[in-house]
Amino acid sequence: MKIVLENLTKVFPSRNKKSNDEVIAVNNFNFEIPDGKLIGLLGPSGCGKSTTLYMISGLQKPTGGKIFFGDEDVTELSTERRGIGLVFQNYALYPHMTVKQNILFPLQNLKGEEKMTKDQMLERAYEAARLVQIDELMDRKPSELSGGQQQRVAIARALAKMPRVLLLDEPLSNLDARLRLQTREEIRRIQKETGITTVFVTHDQEEAMSISDMIVVMKLGVVQQIGEPQNVYDSPANLFVAKFLGTPPINVFRGRVQGGKLFIGEAEVMDVQGVKDQAVTVGIRPEGFVLDENGPLSCKLSNVEVMGRDVSIVSTHEESLNPIIRSIINADHKVNLASETVRYTLKPHKVFLFHAETEDRIYFGKTEEA
């Protein structure tokens, strides 16, 4: 089921009639979510991810725009009639019911044409439980389960209804690091097996990048970029997106373009043909540095952290906008720890230029607008 968001907008009115401090939680969101895909809605706290999800679910009404499931306009439809499965951060299981009863509960409330016999309900409940691999735990109470198992019950409960659309709001936040990893793989597997169009809200870029077919990066209610995770990482539309994606984060420098050359401080670090003379902000991915004793970019060496296959070199530079610069270099390359400086050449496709004021991307050479 494809989902179409058309000029979707949500404004929360000001609480105080005299002031005009309304919040535009979601501002003119347009997107066609393709059928059967997993979409990660991503952004910092308060950017409007949850509000978008709640509007898709029907829990909140948009103040502008429309939502379609397939060709059906569902904007005015109640949550119950949208055919969605919702999973929240706090699993919201009924503590006095067993796992089986929890999964059966929404099925027992189906009305009219959707009403099911007891056997049909049991079959559905077990099918969903098998999918998330909790069918051996059906007679336990939620308190007798681990966090990951509880979250799987919540997912099974959402799936049992055979929803047209699955909506997940920070479903992994309450899990420890290992379980998060395991459960996110699980969500991906379940989503692929069922083919249900799924929207997944998270503030964790790594999580979104690892399981989504496409990510939507939001800031202050406004969509910044939509695309396949790798494409967004490789070609961010602006400085915000570049900074939001990637661990370790992108390194940011003050720079200047003059005569088709990029300068950081006095050093001419790269050709940037076609860019007019101007002050720029330069983003360099940690993997964009190449150790080179004759390289043009000279940084003050602070520290080298061994990470097995790679080493992470920590350094500083007067023009860096971050307190430290972190580069990731293959461990085969030896760093002279006695040296005060470390010199680099740059990989052009790992270097991005941004307008110094608007922070929009400035494309150069072969880089094309994503």
Give whichever of 12 and 94 is closer to ligand ATP, judged by the CB atom: 12
Are 352 and 364 in contact, with CB atoms under 8 Å apart? no
Q: Of 46, 83, 106, 246, which lies in the binding site for ligand ATP, with binding defined by CB under 6 A?
A: 46
Residues in 164-203 that interact with ligand ATP by CB under 6 A:
203
CB of residue 290 to ligand ATP, shortest distance in Å: 37
Give whichever of 89 and 327 is closer to ligand ATP, judged by the CB atom: 89
> Under the criterion CB under 6 A, does residue 43 sit at the interface with ligand ATP?
yes
Structure tokens at 71: 């060709």
Are 38 and 210 in contact, with CB atoms under 8 Å apart? no
Q: Of 8, 25, 269, 297, which lies in the binding site for ligand ATP, with binding defined by CB under 6 A?
A: 25
CB of residue 238 to ligand ATP, shortest distance in Å: 18
Q: Of 3, 33, 38, 47, which lies in the binding site for ligand ATP, with binding defined by CB under 6 A?
A: 47
CB of residue 231 to ligand ATP, shortest distance in Å: 23
d(CA 361, CA 321): 17
Residues in 49-78 that interact with ligand ATP by CB under 6 A:
49-51
> Under the criterion CB under 6 A, does residue 222 sit at the interface with ligand ATP?
no
d(CA 18, CA 32): 38
SS3 content of the chain, % helix, strand, coil (to 5): 25, 35, 40
Q: Which stretch binds ligand ATP (CB under 6 A): 38-46, 234-242, 304-312, 356-364?
A: 38-46
Give whichever of 192 and 219 is closer to ligand ATP, judged by the CB atom: 219
- ω into 248 cis (within 30 of 0): yes
DSSP 197-221: EEEEEES-HHHHHHH-SEEEEEETT
Give whichever of 135 and 204 is closer to ligand ATP, judged by the CB atom: 204
CB of residue 89 to ligand ATP, shortest distance in Å: 9
Q: Is 31 helix (H, G, I), strand (E, B) or coil?
A: strand
Give whichever of 25 and 237 is closer to ligand ATP, judged by the CB atom: 25
CB of residue 197 to ligand ATP, shortest distance in Å: 20
Give whichever of 7 and 302 is closer to ligand ATP, judged by the CB atom: 7
> Under the criterion CB under 6 A, does residue 23 sit at the interface with ligand ATP?
yes
Give whichever of 52 and 281 is closer to ligand ATP, judged by the CB atom: 52
> Under the criterion CB under 6 A, does residue 45 sit at the interface with ligand ATP?
yes
- Ramachandran region of residue 58, left (φ > 0), alpha (ψ -120 to 50) or beta? left
CB of residue 95 to ligand ATP, shortest distance in Å: 24
What does the DSSP 8-state code read for residue 128? Answer: H
Structure tokens at 189: 């597997």
Q: Which stretch binds ligand ATP (CB under 6 A): 45-53, 61-69, 229-237, 277-285?
A: 45-53
Q: How far is CA 282 from CA 14, 19, 269, 276, 299, in A?
A: 39, 39, 11, 15, 15
Give whichever of 128 and 208 is closer to ligand ATP, judged by the CB atom: 208
Give whichever of 50 and 327 is closer to ligand ATP, judged by the CB atom: 50
Pairing assessment for the beta strands 197-202 and 214-219 based on DSSP bridges: unpaired
With CB under 6 A, what is the number of residues at the site for ligand ATP? 12
Q: Which stretch binds ligand ATP (CB under 6 A): 42-50, 151-159, 225-233, 268-276?
A: 42-50
Strand order, beta sheet including 3-12: 23-33, 3-12, 64-69, 72-73
Torsion of CA 95, 96, 102, 106, to 10 degrees: -100
Strand order, beta sheet including 351-355: 267-271, 261-264, 251-258, 278-284, 351-355, 361-362
Give whichever of 23 and 162 is closer to ligand ATP, judged by the CB atom: 23
Name the residue type at position 257: V
What residues line the site for ligand ATP (CB under 6 A)? 12, 23, 25, 43, 45-51, 203
